[in-house]
Amino acid sequence: MIPDWGSERRRMVDHHLRKRGVRDPRVLEAMLRIPREEFLPPEYRVCSYQDEPQPIGFGQTISQPYMIAFMAELLELSGNETVLDVGGGSGYHAAVLAALAAQVISIELIPALARLERQNLQRTGLGGNITVVCGDGALGWPGGAPYHAISVAAAARDVPPALISQLADPGRLVIPVGSGFDQELRLIQKSGGGLQDRVATFCRFVPLVVRPATKPAP
């Protein structure tokens, strides 16, 4: 039997997002509209709306719905921004951000996963304002900078300097920092040439893998 995905999404929004404090109506609408099941391998689609990460292959995961919504809410997007999505994965996070901003550049380290992300976005018709590139997320993507917002879906040991330099002023960066099971989700705000840094919550992400070269996704 094919699940009623619309009902599953409504349940996710009501039980996993609203009840945990996500309030931004644009974020809730994006999470209600975007089909998470289309960004998971067939064998894991039955788990699409459980509030937990799921495998997407290549040793990577799609983040839990609550964390994606919470990070998007922290960015306070109004619809006019250019956003850098670091750790594109299968494309779901980029799709959520693209529903909230004008333009998204999604950078993914693994070439085969970058191709899968592009295919998923094209198949679902959600990639119209998303550019997928393959490269080292810790180096950002200078060609699209400055970014009004940067969202990082992998844990760095320290905040990469390149992301700070590519952040617009004013701008907001959300990034998990730490290693293993000890990570902080940090919100860094640039304003007037200065930085404000606070811990938004604690979290657990796959590590941000660093490699030296960047190139367009094949």
Any idea what the CATH number is for the domain that residue 79 is in?
3.40.50.150
Domain contains 175:
yes
User: What pLDDT is recorded for position 211?
Assistant: 64
Q: Which long-range contacts (CB under 8 A, 24 or more apart) does 3-8 make?
A: 3/37, 3/46, 3/48, 5/35, 5/37, 5/48, 5/49, 8/48, 8/49
Say which residue the tokens 């940090």 belong to: 186
pLDDT in tens, 73-85: 999 999 999 999 9
Domain contains 46:
no
Domain contains 154:
yes
- 146: tokens are 């400055």
Instruction: Output Rg (C-alpha) for the chain, integer angstroms.
Output: 16
Q: Given the residues 7, 48, 63, 90, select the one marked as catalytic.
A: 63
User: What pLDDT is recorded for position 175?
Assistant: 97
Is 7 annotated in the active site?
Answer: no
Percent above pLDDT 90 for the chain = 89
Domain contains 30:
no
Contact status, residue 168 vs residue 190, Cβ threshold 8 Å: yes
Domain contains 83:
yes
Domain contains 198:
yes
CB contact set of 69 (below 8 Å; sequence gap of 6+): 17, 22, 27, 28, 31, 96
Q: How many structural domains compose the chain?
A: 1
Domain contains 10:
no
**The domain containing residue 146 runs over which residues?**
65-203
Q: Specify the pairing of strand 130-134 against strand 54-57.
A: unpaired
